[in-house]
Amino acid sequence: MFGVFFVLPMLYLVVMSFWRLRLYRLEPAFIIKNYALTIADYGESILFTIALAFVVGSLTTLLAYGFAFALRFRSGRWGDAYLFITLVTLFGGYLVKIYAWKTILGNGGILNTGLMTLGLIDEPITWFLFSPVAVVITLIHFLLPFAVLPIYGALRNVDPRHLEAARDLGARPRRVFRDIVLPQTQAGLVAAFTLAFLYSAGDYVTPRLVGGPNIQMVGTFIESQFVQRLNMPQGAAMAITTMAACVLFLLLMVAALRATLRQR
């Protein structure tokens, strides 16, 4: 199953990235020109994409952890209800949410009119929308419920009696969190960050709709290679390069996380 639906298409993509486009026709070959072009023209945008995905991943994971923690340890009887509400928000599709943020962040949107009514600003802030900021906000909002779930799952497995035991041994609440809760939720943390990071790195719809004209997310460029220029080899090369860069970055992040949380 995994082989048929994932490995074979991937292999096809890899093979195609070495082909060339001649007169709008695919021609099997073995050239590295596509990769060379990727690094030369789009290298900067790949780095920008990873940076933005990192910001989204980090903020989403942080917010998701806070929410999941409150859900697990501070909501008492309402815990299940809050969880249910979180799951329900998953049903709103991403396009709906993107357009919602377009409305909220725009010049005439709630955020700007609210700030102006409060007298904090005189003119609407234009960079709320059609900017990297808008992309980050929209992506965080969309990915939050996805990130909450693995973290909540990991927190469920933390026995509250361990927290009591740590306090009995002299640890204050912050210490208890760092020594007992965090290490046991590593897997959930990694899952949440990976999800948010990878989704953001590959997204092209959000940047196209709220990113503005100067947005440098590589997803949009890959899309245009495939759809507008019909240059599939080039698009494939860019996709493979981006994937490799993301995986490398992710491995580094996870290793760093593990090293920080290791018991001394």
Partner 1 sequence: MTGTVVASGRGGEGAGAAEPLVLLSGVSKRYGAVVACDAVDLRIERGDFLALLGPSGGGKTTLLRIIGGFAYPDVGRVVIDGVDVTRMPPEDRPTNMVFQGYSLFPHMTVRQNIQYGLKVKRIPPAEAAARTAEIIALTRLEGLEDRAIGQLSGGQQQRVALARALVLRPKVLLLDEPLSALDLKLRQSMQEELRRIHRLIGGTFVFVTHDQNEALWLANRIAVLANGRIVQQGSGEDVYGAPASRFVSAFIGEANTLAGRRRHSIVELEAGPSFPAAGPDEPVTAMIRPHLLRIAETAGPGEVLLGGRLRDVVFLGPRVRYQIELANGTELAVDAVADRRRQAVVPGAMLSIAVAIEDLLVLARDDPAN
Chain residues binding partner 1 by CB under 8 A are 159, 161-162, 164-172, 175, 179-180, 183-184, 263
Residue by residue, DSSP assigns 65-128 as HHHHHHHHHS-GGGHHHHHHHHHHHTTS-HHHHHHHHHHHHSTTSHHHHHHHHTTS-SS--GGG
Q: Who's near 236: CB < 8 A, 6+ residues apart?
A: 13, 14, 16, 17, 34
Residue number, 27 or 164, with CB nearest to partner 1: 164
Rounded to a whole number of angstroms, the minimum distance from the CB of residue 170 to partner 1 is 4
185: enclosing H helix or E strand: none
Pure H helices in the chain = 2, 8-16, 33-73, 79-89, 94-105, 110-117, 132-156, 160-168, 173-176, 182-184, 186-202, 205-210, 218-227, 232-261
Residue number, 25 or 172, with CB nearest to partner 1: 172
Place of tokens 């965090």: 182
Residue number, 25 or 264, with CB nearest to partner 1: 264
Residue number, 184 or 224, with CB nearest to partner 1: 184
Rounded to a whole number of angstroms, the minimum distance from the CB of residue 171 to partner 1 is 5
Residue number, 179 or 223, with CB nearest to partner 1: 179
Rounded to a whole number of angstroms, the minimum distance from the CB of residue 187 to partner 1 is 11
Rounded to a whole number of angstroms, the minimum distance from the CB of residue 153 to partner 1 is 16
Rounded to a whole number of angstroms, the minimum distance from the CB of residue 184 to partner 1 is 6
Q: Who's near 152: CB < 8 A, 6+ residues apart?
A: 68, 71, 72, 83, 188
Eight-class DSSP state of 215: -
Rounded to a whole number of angstroms, the minimum distance from the CB of residue 163 to partner 1 is 9
Residue number, 156 or 175, with CB nearest to partner 1: 175
